[in-house]
Amino acid sequence: MIDALSLMMIALVAAGTAAIGFGASGYRSRALRRLAEKAKKPEAKIYSYALIWRELVNRIGTVLPASPKGLPQLKRRLIRAGYRNPATARTFQGIRAVCIAGFGVLIVIVAGGTAGETSNFLLAAVAGMMLGYIAPNYLLSMMIKRRQHAISKGLPNALDLMVVCVESGLGIDQTTLQVAKELQAAHPEICDEFSVMNLELRAGKRRADALHNLADRTGVEDVKKLVAVLVQTDRFGTSIAQSLRGHSDYLRVMARQRAEERAAKLAIKLVFPIFFCVLPSLFVVTIGPVMTKLIRDLIPMIEKM
């Protein structure tokens, strides 16, 4: 009896173990089959409108002929706006061509709704094409001015940190690198320019050339003055810390004077808004009820006369 029960238990355990093993092997084979099917399935291509637009603009810019005289100036303006990729000039030319065609067609469509002569349509198309040519340049100029303003705003703080780093014993190269790391979150524009200057120095360029390239890339007068101070300090061997501290004080005084100048001009600039916007409403509020009462009282008197 005991032997029969033992044999039954052994058989049940063996059957359960075999069932679990077959189930596990089947699950593993099914998982491997699903992975193989996923690997064989071709990846779906994800099309992005931004990528399509970029590719279209790049191809248009590649096809269009570039002016040998205007291309270097365009690249310099793009660098001052923060675009250092060499292919950006081609992209800008493509955007300008698309704007010329798009504005011309849009103006013709808008003018087509009105009855007019063919010469008027041609003038409207020419005006739209001129607007499409000017608009990208205007936007680029706005971006350059915004970036230059950000660089001018962050330069005094960068100079203060440079003074601290120089007085602690660091050289000018390590100082600019440390400033680029510390002020990256607060003033990324000036930090990016310092990083590019450090890369040029690592590539073997002379310090004076790297500093002059910094001034040329930014196009900011304060940066040009800083470059002149650093070049003279490096040439004559004077104290860098004193020069930087004096230049930082000079920049703060100039910023204060510019703010006082803008504040002095504010009264003159407010004359026209006050004259055309505030005074008419003031006249309506003060003289309006009096004029209404006079008209109400005078008209019956005139009718009785």
**Whether 78 contacts 89, CB under 8 Å:** yes
pLDDT at 28: 60
pLDDT at 41: 47
Question: From CA 156, how far away is CA 244, in angstroms rounded?
Answer: 10
pLDDT tens-digit map of 1-29: 445 655 566 666 666 666 666 555 555 66
Helix (DSSP H) and strand (DSSP E) numbers for the chain:
12, 0
Reading phi first (left if > 0) and then psi (alpha if -120 to 50, else beta), residue 82 is in: left
pLDDT tens-digit map of 216-234: 999 999 899 999 998 988 8
Asked whether residue 65 carries a pLDDT value surpassing 80, the answer given is no
pLDDT at 78: 93
pLDDT at 39: 46
Sign of dihedral through CA atoms 281, 285, 291, 292?
Answer: positive
**Whether 230 contacts 172, CB under 8 Å:** yes
When pLDDT is cut at 50, 70 and 90, the band that residue 287 belongs to is: confident
Residue 235 tokens read as 């040439």
Asked whether residue 145 carries a pLDDT value surpassing 90, the answer given is yes
When pLDDT is cut at 50, 70 and 90, the band that residue 134 belongs to is: very high
Q: What are phi and psi of 7, to 5 degrees?
A: -65, -40
Place of tokens 């390590």: 174
pLDDT tens-digit map of 156-192: 889 989 989 998 888 888 999 999 999 988 899 999 9
Rounded mean pLDDT, 37-56:
60
pLDDT tens-digit map of 261-273: 989 888 888 888 8
**Whether 219 contacts 151, CB under 8 Å:** no
Reading phi first (left if > 0) and then psi (alpha if -120 to 50, else beta), residue 117 is in: beta
Asked whether residue 247 carries a pLDDT value surpassing 80, the answer given is yes
In the three-class reduction of DSSP (H, G, I as helix; E, B as strand; rest coil), residue 305 is classed as coil
**Whether 198 contacts 173, CB under 8 Å:** yes
Q: What does CATH list as the number for 149-267?
A: 1.20.81
| Average pLDDT value for the chain | 81
* Cα end-to-end span (Å), the chain: 142
pLDDT at 188: 92
pLDDT tens-digit map of 123-133: 888 888 899 89
Helices 118-167 and 172-182, packing angle to 10 deg: 120
pLDDT at 26: 59
Rounded mean pLDDT, 273-287:
83
Domain-by-domain residue ranges, the chain?
A: 49-147, 149-267
Q: Within the chain, what is the greatest distance between any pair of CA atoms?
A: 142
Global pTM reads: 0.71
Question: From CA 156, how far away is CA 246, in angstroms rounded?
Answer: 11
Instruction: Give the burial string for 206-235 (b: 16+ CB within 10 Å, else e).
Output: eeeebbebbbebbbbebbbbbbebbbebee
Cα distances from 38 to residues 41, 46, 104, 227, in angstroms, run 5, 17, 50, 59
